[in-house]
A and B are shown apart, each in its own frame.
Chain A
Amino acid sequence: MKPAAASPRWDLPSAPLEALLAKHGSEKGSSLWTQAWTRLRRDRAARWAMWFLSLVGAISLLAPLLPLPSPVAMHVDREPSAPQAPWVAPGAQKFERQYWPLSALDRQLVGLRQTLFQEWQTGPLLGSDAKGRDLLSRLVWGGRTSLAVALAAALTSLILGVVYGGLAGLLGGWADRIMMRIVDGLYALPFTFVVIFVLGLVGSSKSVAGVGREVVFLLAIGALYWLSMARVVRGQVLSLKRAEFVLVARAQGAGPLRILFTHMIPNVLAVVVVYLTLTIPSVMLSEAFLSFLGLGIEPPKVSWGLIAVDAIEAASPLRVYWWLIVFPSLAIGSVLLALNVLGDSLRDALDPRAPGRAAQP
């Protein structure tokens, strides 16, 4: 944009105009996202969170390769054993290749692991549970399942929510009001009932394999969270519609599509990304609740929800199996904490209203 003509009211530097323009012209313009990234990197808590989450993600992806015991192999005649330091009797037990039905890639990875490590596996570094299953292995594999479920459910809610909320916000007026009232109505339906109803329908059909049930489970949870996402997106779209830069763009003659893609979507996406990062913890907590009811992930597959349910019974005046409570709490707590911190920092970084930042034209 060309600068306005120099006015006596402004105190411009005495350097010639061309030099001024050249200096500023060589600066790279920064978009919302690059600015946000810079801010994010400077936030120490966010940096830690990102590193931690990357580590967790890497471990989850590579879980079949790690020399951990099987998360499924039961040794019911043994007591839950306390954690053993790695230098006590390393490699005492042989690796038992027992898993739930794995995907082809995972099977390959497990095969690769066997070639690499032969029969060696880590000992009970974090202890074992009531059925003799290794806790560390269950936490790693369980994290894999929980994170996958959470991501998938969050994405489902994202797609549904953005489409619905964006539409409601753009249409405005009566259509918006009705759509939002439908959302309010759906909010009032008790969550458990819907889940039980849907699971009951699927459970009673001929499909016996766990696959059909899990897909339903994912859809049910995703279907719960799209309501909040729709509300948030709609609010953002509404406020954006009235934003000054949109009016300016319209005044300049930009068409509705250009407004949508160049101006609205980036700002909406900001909110959506933040919300997504904060939905994943909620989804994981819902999964834990459903596992408590027995409606969640089915054994032998393991998830953090199931491990957490075992944790409740581990304390009694007779004996306290502290590792069954402490380590799952640490694992779940730290990952969800990191996600929440990241979400908060993203919100701070992307927030155009914070002091020193201006809404992006």
Chain B
Amino acid sequence: MSGLTRARRWLWTAPAALLIAGFAWALSLAGASHLPPADFTFNNNSEVSTLDPAAVTSVPEGRILRALSEGLVIRHPTDLSIQPGAAQSWEMSPDGLRWTFYLRPGMRWSNGEPLSSSDFAFSFQRLLAPQTASPFAQFLFAVAGARAYHAGSGPQGKPDWNSVGIKTPDALTLQLELESPRAYLLELLACTPLLPVNAKNLQQLQQRFPQRWMAEWQKPENLVCNGAYLLGSRRINDRIRLVKNPRYWDADSVAFRAIDALAVEHAGTALNMYLTGGCDWLDGSVPPMFVSEMLGREDFRPEQSPYLGLYFYRLNCTRPPLDDPRVRRALSMTLPRDLVTEHLLKAGQQRCTTFVPWGRLGSYESPAVPIEGLSEARRLLSEAGYGPRRPLPRLSIHYNTAESHRDIAELVSDTWRMALGVEVGLANQEWKVWLDSQNRLDYQISRSSWIADYPDASSFLGIFTSDNPNNRTGWKNERFDGLIARAESELNPTARNKLLLQAERILLEEVPAIPIYSYVAQNVINPRLGGFGNNLLNEQNPKFWYWKSDDELWQQRREQVGSIEFVDAPGPAEGLYSANALRAQGR
């Protein structure tokens, strides 16, 4: 037999051998990262785009960052009250223009370096620096000179950090000098963009990797943070593992040693993982088909969880016929909000006719909106010059690809056609295209939603000022701008609420957008989880979480009123408590 023939014989085994060898190699690579199970697993809904606090824009990033970093102040999970964080106390000067924060002594970063006020000053400077391109730089615009610094100009034409009112008199004191008083400054300081960043670490990495520092900075082995957890490992579209930070000042109050944040986007898969024990907390991943099955269970009580989110239709106020506020009001009056919340949504969302969801926020209450009839709407239309002889031209509702948006738009368009005789078409656009058309004001009606950054009415009302990039309706009103600006620097709560009320009245008259419904937080939580705050922002701080023991769980169940269906609560029978909690229990 010739050599070639013999070779050809082996050729058959070669592909098989290659296949098996390749499989074994890939198995070793991928299997090697098989992690032991974490104490707690939750679904973070989508892969985070970045862990840089200054660049973060959405909720999934915020959840991770609140575990990794701690700001000057934090919000309490139950009532969202401001609690000391890295700052143990603070003072405001009588005129409200100077705030002084006293940091906790002895705090350290995860690499052992002491945490000082200059770290916070550096982080705030980075937030304001134009090169950082932070979408939330305006959170610090209350500080004197900040706006100019962000715009890249200063007293001598160049940005000068010394002209900005952020001072560090000593290592444990931080002073903010504002250009006008700000009532909710503490709320802003508790937000994600204001989390600290380790200056030395970042600068070292930028020197070592001038081109690639963005890809090196957030690696688990390089990241330095000051919060309750460290970054253990990170796999895109799989999970982020957080491990307890032993150098955190309050490490004794932290119960969970390891937490996994999954990035499951598919709602059905997420629900199935929760129901089969692979996940302990879902936020908003219940497919509409199963919402009614899940209601009434112990772990799904959305009707008890109002959420500061508003679903509304933006109206392009620069194009006829929507440039006439009477037309806009007529459309808002005839929008079938009850049908939407009761027939399409079913999870306890409520109709909303005001621009602040749920109609109230803290001490602020939105003005009451009378329910008008169809005749009033038709009268407004005829006043604007439209009627049976001159019907409204065809309108279109733009929405990004999602079934819920489509259903709502279809319901609304059907109702408007029956009530006002206007033809309304639907335009489904892919997400980026939809954003683009909103930004360019290339739409008539565009579906939108807004989630509060902080629990204050200005977080919603402030969107519609003429210089706010989130306006995107082309609507401008000087009086409104003036009222909002005055409310910004008003410290007296009653006076402030009055100003905001007047501003909201303008919005309700002019209707640059049509509010539709207020959100509920659709949390599916393992009943065994303790320290989970049912709050208006659905903002969670992992440092408070723990597993309840069986005793505590049954105690909680005995105190339940009403009939609910108890479900499995997988977890350790004796619970998992922090060192402080164990000491308090006498163990």
How many B residues touch the partner, as a band? 20 to 34
Please determine whether B290 and A204 come into contact, CB atoms closer than 8 angstroms.
no
Q: Chain B interface: which of A17-25, A245-253, A292-300?
A: A292-300
Whether A204 contacts B343 in the complex (CB less than 8 A), given A80-B289, A300-B410, A318-B294, comes out as no
Which B residues are in CB contact (< 8 Å) with A76? 343-344, 346
Known: A317-B276, A318-B294. 4 other contacts (CB 8 A): A203-B430, A204-B442, A318-B293, A319-B290
**Could you list which residues of chain B lie within 8 angstroms of chain A, going by C-beta atoms?**
267-268, 271-272, 275-276, 287-290, 292-294, 343-344, 346, 396, 401-403, 406-407, 410, 425-430, 432-433, 436-437, 442
Whether A314 contacts B343 in the complex (CB less than 8 A), given A203-B430, A204-B429, A204-B433, comes out as no
Please determine whether A196 and B289 come into contact, CB atoms closer than 8 angstroms.
no
Whether A316 contacts B272 in the complex (CB less than 8 A), given A76-B344, A204-B437, comes out as yes
Please determine whether A313 and B267 come into contact, CB atoms closer than 8 angstroms.
yes
Please determine whether A312 and B268 come into contact, CB atoms closer than 8 angstroms.
yes
Contact of A316 among B271, B344, B346, B426 (CB under 8 A): B271
Contact of B425 among A209, A295, A318 (CB under 8 A): A209
Residue from B343, B344, B407, B428 whose CB has the most chain A CB atoms within 10 Å: B428
In angstroms, Cα B268 to Cα A318, docked, is 11
Please determine whether B428 and A313 come into contact, CB atoms closer than 8 angstroms.
no
Whether A208 contacts B430 in the complex (CB less than 8 A), given A316-B271, A316-B272, A317-B275, comes out as no
Which B residues are in CB contact (< 8 Å) with A316? 268, 271-272, 275, 290
- The main secondary structure of chain A at its interface with chain B is loop
Which A residues are in CB contact (< 8 Å) with B287? 313
- Residues in A35-87 with C-beta less than 8 Å from chain B: 74, 76-77, 79-80
* Per-position 1/0 for A303-340, Cβ under 8 A of B: 00000000011101111010000000000000000000
Please determine whether A319 and B293 come into contact, CB atoms closer than 8 angstroms.
yes
Of all chain A residues, the one with the shortest Cβ separation from B297 is A318
Please determine whether B289 and A208 come into contact, CB atoms closer than 8 angstroms.
no
Residue from A79, A313, A319 whose CB has the most chain B CB atoms within 10 Å: A313
Please determine whether B436 and A204 come into contact, CB atoms closer than 8 angstroms.
yes
Please determine whether A196 and B430 come into contact, CB atoms closer than 8 angstroms.
yes
Which B residues are in CB contact (< 8 Å) with A196? 430
- Summed over the interface, the residue pairs from A and B with CB atoms below 8 Å come to a total of 61
Please determine whether A318 and B292 come into contact, CB atoms closer than 8 angstroms.
no
Of all chain A residues, the one with the shortest Cβ separation from B401 is A294
Q: How far, in Å, is A142 (CB) from chain B's closest CB?
A: 16
Q: How far, in Å, is A166 (CB) from chain B's closest CB?
A: 35
**Could you list which residues of chain A lie within 8 angstroms of chain B, going by C-beta atoms?**
74, 76-77, 79-80, 130-131, 196, 199-200, 203-204, 208-209, 294-295, 298-300, 312-314, 316-319, 321
Please determine whether A313 and B425 come into contact, CB atoms closer than 8 angstroms.
no
Which B residues are in CB contact (< 8 Å) with A77? 343
Residue from B292, B410, B433 whose CB has the most chain A CB atoms within 10 Å: B433
The 8 closest A-B pairs by CB, nearest first: A294-B401, A313-B268, A130-B289, A317-B275, A208-B427, A76-B343, A318-B293, A208-B396
In angstroms, Cα B271 to Cα A313, docked, is 10
Q: How far, in Å, is B103 (CB) from chain A's closest CB?
A: 49
In angstroms, Cα B406 to Cα A259, docked, is 56
Of all chain A residues, the one with the shortest Cβ separation from B440 is A204
Of all chain A residues, the one with the shortest Cβ separation from B394 is A208
Which B residues are in CB contact (< 8 Å) with A295? 401, 430
Please determine whether A200 and B272 come into contact, CB atoms closer than 8 angstroms.
no
Which A residues are in CB contact (< 8 Å) with B401? 294-295
Whether A79 contacts B430 in the complex (CB less than 8 A), given A204-B436, A204-B437, A299-B403, comes out as no
In angstroms, Cα B271 to Cα A1, docked, is 76
In angstroms, Cα B571 to Cα A355, docked, is 68
In angstroms, Cα B267 to Cα A295, docked, is 19
In angstroms, Cα B437 to Cα A72, docked, is 29
Which A residues are in CB contact (< 8 Å) with B410? 300
In angstroms, Cα B288 to Cα A80, docked, is 12
Which B residues are in CB contact (< 8 Å) with A209? 425
Which A residues are in CB contact (< 8 Å) with B442? 204
Please determine whether A321 and B436 come into contact, CB atoms closer than 8 angstroms.
no
Whether A200 contacts B433 in the complex (CB less than 8 A), given A208-B396, A312-B268, comes out as yes
Please determine whether B430 and A313 come into contact, CB atoms closer than 8 angstroms.
no
Please determine whether A208 and B425 come into contact, CB atoms closer than 8 angstroms.
yes
In angstroms, Cα B406 to Cα A298, docked, is 10
Which B residues are in CB contact (< 8 Å) with A131? 407
Contact of A317 among B272, B344, B433 (CB under 8 A): B272
Q: How far, in Å, is A187 (CB) from chain B's closest CB?
A: 23
Which A residues are in CB contact (< 8 Å) with B396? 208
Q: How far, in Å, is B282 (CB) from chain A's closest CB?
A: 13
Whether A79 contacts B267 in the complex (CB less than 8 A), given A294-B401, A299-B406, A317-B272, comes out as no
In angstroms, Cα B275 to Cα A314, docked, is 14
Contact of B430 among A200, A314, A321 (CB under 8 A): A200
Please determine whether A203 and B272 come into contact, CB atoms closer than 8 angstroms.
no
Please determine whether B433 and A130 come into contact, CB atoms closer than 8 angstroms.
no
In angstroms, Cα B288 to Cα A79, docked, is 11
**Contact sample, A vs B, 30 pairs, CB 8 Å cutoff:** A74-B407, A76-B343, A79-B292, A80-B289, A130-B288, A130-B289, A196-B430, A200-B433, A203-B427, A204-B429, A204-B433, A208-B426, A208-B427, A294-B401, A294-B402, A294-B428, A298-B428, A299-B403, A299-B406, A300-B410, A312-B268, A313-B267, A314-B289, A316-B268, A316-B275, A316-B290, A317-B275, A317-B276, A318-B290, A318-B294
